[in-house]
Amino acid sequence: MIKKTIQSFAFFALFQAVLFSCCSEDYNTYFDSLYFIAKDQVDGDATAVTSSDLVLNLDPVFDNIIASNFKELKKFSPAAYATTCDEDYTLKEHVSEILITANTDILGIPTGNSLNSKLSYRNPETLDNEVLENVIEVLNRESEYYYGRNEMVLNEPILAGTSLTFTVTIIIEENGRMLEATTETITIE
């Protein structure tokens, strides 16, 4: 009887270890930093660009932290890796606000004030220009969040001869944390 009990316990312990090793890895995903560049959509050179060819690219950089408590159990059953499921990533932070500014007066807007009303977001799925605030929806996608560049374009031309940098600031809803990035200096031709 004791032998059967020990065998049953061992069977179920091994079975449970195999199940845990076959589970997908769960990751909590957080915004880590921003990559923000200005580029010429014709030749890619951002040092001198016409206003109509200027594109601002915003790439969020994410930090993935393992959420599963069972990762350490996997080392006890390495043969089960052949049946491992896909990894699951869950976005744990959400953008509540985006603000784009310039280091000089442009388009009638003083230095450091919001240029959001003068910019459009280029939807990567439709290539249509939309209101800038729509980029927040893309950044906050719960599943299949967008790892590509989020392009923004000006609605009005900037005067030729203007040298400037753009700064983007996003605010995280859950904790009020601000992430900021600035482009290299560009000159409008």
Residue 74 covered by a domain? no
Domain of residue 146, residue span: 29-64+92-188
- Check residue 17 and give its pLDDT: 52
Residue 162 covered by a domain? yes
Higher pLDDT, 102 or 91: 102
Residue 133 covered by a domain? yes
**Structure tokens given for 156:** 């009005």
* pLDDT greater than 70 at residue 158: yes
Residue 122 covered by a domain? yes
Residue 5 covered by a domain? no
- Check residue 79 and give its pLDDT: 47
* pLDDT greater than 50 at residue 83: no
- Check residue 164 and give its pLDDT: 96
CATH number at residue 174: 2.60.40
Residue 97 covered by a domain? yes
SS3 content of the chain, % helix, strand, coil (to 5): 25, 40, 40
Residue 71 covered by a domain? no
Higher pLDDT, 159 or 77: 159
Residue 24 covered by a domain? no
**In sequence order, what DSSP letters do the residues of 56-121 get, joined into one string?**
EEEEEEEEEEE--S-GGGGGG-GGGGGGPPPPEEEE---EEEEEEEESS-BTTB-TTS--GGGEEE
Secondary structure class of 166 (helix, strand, coil): strand
Question: pLDDT tens-digit profile of 21-63?
Answer: 555 668 888 899 999 999 998 888 878 899 999 999 999 988 8
- Check residue 119 and give its pLDDT: 96
- Check residue 5 and give its pLDDT: 73
Per the structure, the count of domains in the chain is: 1
